[in-house]
Amino acid sequence: MIFNKTEIKKLAKKYDAFIAVAPMMGKVATKFGRVFGPMSKMPSPQAGIIPKEDENLVKAMIEKMNKSIRIKNKEMAIKFSVGKENLSDDELKENIDSAIKELERKLPRGRDNIKNILIKFTMTKPIVIVERR
């Protein structure tokens, strides 16, 4: 199947992440890298590698990716997605609580590393939910 750049962009917007088996990584990078890379959607060895095409390995990787978040820290702020519009308020709250607890667990000084926690929906101003001075 041959994709042009417009089709690749549509594909990248349609999905949250992509996976590839190890032997295909080079081809995927060559064809999709210019679009997927800047959008942080390239299949990543850090997420785990699927050594060969196997339905069980693919299902396990999808399950792992559904339970994980990616954090990029280019500034003194950590920003990440905690849900989608179709989640209920309770599901969204549970995701936010889980994300905060996991972040506190991973940071070197835990809660002391966190100054503020803000929530922002698409096209809205951020709302402060925790503020420490």
Q: Tokens 């990440």 identify what position?
A: 80
Q: Are residues 84 and 59 in the same domain?
A: no
Q: What pLDDT is stored for residue 88 in this prediction? A: 93
Q: What is the mean pLDDT of the chain?
A: 83
Helix, strand, coil % over all residues of the chain, rounded to 5: 45, 15, 40
Among 32, 48, 66, where does a domain finish?
66
> 81 lies in which domain range?
72-131
pTM metric for this prediction: 0.49
Q: Are residues 49 and 85 in the same domain?
A: no
Q: Are residues 47 and 78 in the same domain?
A: no
Say how many domains are in the chain. 2
Q: Are residues 54 and 98 in the same domain?
A: no
Q: Are residues 15 and 62 in the same domain?
A: yes
Among 66, 87, 112, where does a domain finish?
66
Q: Are residues 56 and 77 in the same domain?
A: no
Please compute the mean of the pLDDT values over residues 13-33 and round it to a whole number. 85
Q: What pLDDT is stored for residue 94 in this prediction? A: 93
Pairing relation of β-strands 72-75 and 116-119? unpaired
Q: Are residues 62 and 76 in the same domain?
A: no
Digit-coded pLDDT (tens) for 54-101: 888 888 888 888 777 666 666 677 778 888 888 999 999 999 899 889
Among 18, 46, 66, where does a domain finish?
66
Q: Are residues 95 and 48 in the same domain?
A: no
Here the CATH number for the domain that contains residue 17 is 3.40.50.790
Check pLDDT > 80 for residue 49.
no
Number of alpha helices (DSSP H) and beta strands (DSSP E) in the chain: 4, 4
- Rg value, the chain, Cα: 18
Contact 66, 16 (CB under 8 A): no
For residue 18, give the nearest of 70, 56, 95 by alpha carbon.
Answer: 70
CA dist., res. 126 & res. 121, Å (int):
7
Q: Helix 25-36 and helix 5-14: axis angle, to 10°?
A: 90
pLDDT band at residue 4 under the 50/70/90 scheme: confident
